[in-house]
Amino acid sequence: MQLLKNKMAYFIGLTMLAGVVTFVFGVVSIFDAKKVKSWPVAQGVIIDSFVSYLEDTPANQPTNICMPDIKYEYVYKQNTFFNNNISYLPSQAIGIADFYYAAPESEVCKFLEKYPVNAKVKIHVNPLDPENSVLETGLTLPVFLPLILGLLLIYTACHLMIFHTHYFSDPHKTA
């Protein structure tokens, strides 16, 4: 029984630590996303704008879920850059950012109407990393996901800390 309590204490501690780290990452991500509005604006042009179909579906299952794929070119400080980021998302580093815009084909087509090929657009450019840019500013749901996950992990750790004796008490032991 003591071994189970020690394992539970380690689990609670690790869950709390993971929750705090994820929560802090979430807060930092929100502040970073808010900074995008203050990035310098460069004039750009849409060079490609099309519907990209998701192919990671179960075998023989048709899907109408798609994503917008917008490629644009812009000049910043006499250098030409190309990018396809629509908005700032902290998950871009792990490759799941674009899925925020996944939707049925009709919705994606409606979204793409704002970005036809050869359209002139304002590009918000990261002054510290000019290769990093976005078409749209503002806070999107994925920016809040680390914060929400962190809070959920912290809640879980607190709940287990308070009630773990109830869940793991010996039913055969009498008072």
Model confidence at 174: pLDDT above 60: no
Over the stretch 66-114, which tens digit does the pLDDT of each residue have? 888 899 999 999 999 999 888 887 555 445 555 667 788 888 889 999 9
Over the stretch 23-73, which tens digit does the pLDDT of each residue have? 999 899 888 888 889 999 999 999 999 988 776 555 555 567 788 889 999
| Phi, psi of 81, rounded to the nearest 5 degrees | -130, 155
Model confidence at 165: pLDDT above 60: yes
Inter-CA distances, 174 with 1, 5, 170, 171, Å: 15, 19, 9, 8
Q: Which residue in 85, 95, 89 sits closest to 56, CA to CA?
A: 95
Model confidence at 168: pLDDT above 90: no
pTM of the model: 0.69
Q: Which residue in 77, 82, 88 sits closest to 32, CA to CA?
A: 88
Over the stretch 3-13, which tens digit does the pLDDT of each residue have? 666 788 889 99
pLDDT of residue 45: 97
pLDDT of residue 102: 74
Q: Residue 117 and residue 49: Cα distance in Å, rounded?
A: 6
Over the stretch 103-150, which tens digit does the pLDDT of each residue have? 888 888 899 999 999 999 999 999 999 998 999 887 777 778 889 999
Q: Which residue in 48, 61, 56, 66 sits closest to 106, CA to CA?
A: 66
Inter-CA distances, 162 with 15, 57, 119, 122, Å: 14, 42, 58, 52
Question: Could you state, in order of their start, the residue ranges of all structural domains in the chain?
Answer: 1-36+139-175, 40-136
